[in-house]
Amino acid sequence: MRLYKWIFVLVLFIPAGVLVGQLFQGELGANPSEKINLVLGDWTYYFLASNLIWGALLAVGWMPNRLRRFTLLRRHLGVVTFVYAFLHMTFYVLKEGDVPLALTQMVEKLYLILGLISLLILFALALTSNNYSVRKLGSRWKSLHRLAYVVLPLATVHYFLIEKKDWRVTIPWLIVWMALSGVRVFKLVKKR
């Protein structure tokens, strides 16, 4: 992997590093696992939305040419998004303090079911975010990775069911992505 790719990935892990620092300095309050869970969930959402917005900008032709050469970084962003989502789920289990109870809740509560579905889709995308999978799956690779479009609405509803009063984390991202997706659909229809 080229140096700029390593730098990109390291930058994406800065929020996790800040959390680790806050944990060791005792700055996460009385329930550190709950705070870590919330922050990791927020960053998972930011990374997911950023990746989809990046893709939409490319699709509608609004990405400057000099930035197009960094398009392959989207795969790295997708894998890091999965890592954050996995850690988010892990700290949910730690927060509950009872693994069997947490796992049972994941198939009983709607917001957790949506989160688990999102995590499983992100896992499949992360697992196939390599050149071998692109070659092996051929045209099916792109179809599989379009499942990312399903994850953002699922993650938005997941977030809303947890934090009904605070949509500031999700709404701006969702609106930008939906607007760009609308432009993309309009261009496709106009072309046909």
Question: pLDDT (tens digit, 9 = 90+) per residue, 14-64?
Answer: 999 999 999 999 999 888 988 999 999 999 999 999 999 999 999 888 888
Phi and psi at 29, nearest 5°, equal: 85, -165
CB atoms within 10 A of CB 36: 23
How far from the centroid of its chain's Cα atoms is residue 120's Cα?
A: 12
- The position carrying tokens 């198939």 is 107
CATH topology of domain 3-191: Four Helix Bundle (Hemerythrin (Met), subunit A) (1.20.120)
The C-alpha atoms of residue 47 and residue 53 are separated, in whole angstroms, by: 10
Instruction: Identify the pLDDT of residue 68.
Output: 86
What's the whole-model pTM score?
0.92
B/e letters for 148-172, b = 16+ CB within 10 Å, e = fewer, are beebbebbbbbbbeebeeeeebbee
What's the rounded mean pLDDT across residues 72-90?
96
For the chain, give the mean pLDDT.
91
Distance CA 55, CA 180 (A): 10
Give 65's pLDDT tier (boundaries 50, 70, 90). confident
pLDDT value for 1:
58
Give the integer Cα–Cα distance in Å for 177 and 8.
Answer: 22
pLDDT score of 113 = 95
Angle between helices 73-96 and 110-127 (to 10 degrees): 140
For the chain, which residues make up each domain, given as ranges? 3-191
Length of the chain: 192
Residue 168: per-residue pLDDT: 77
> What would the mean pLDDT of 120-146 be, rounded to a whole number?
94
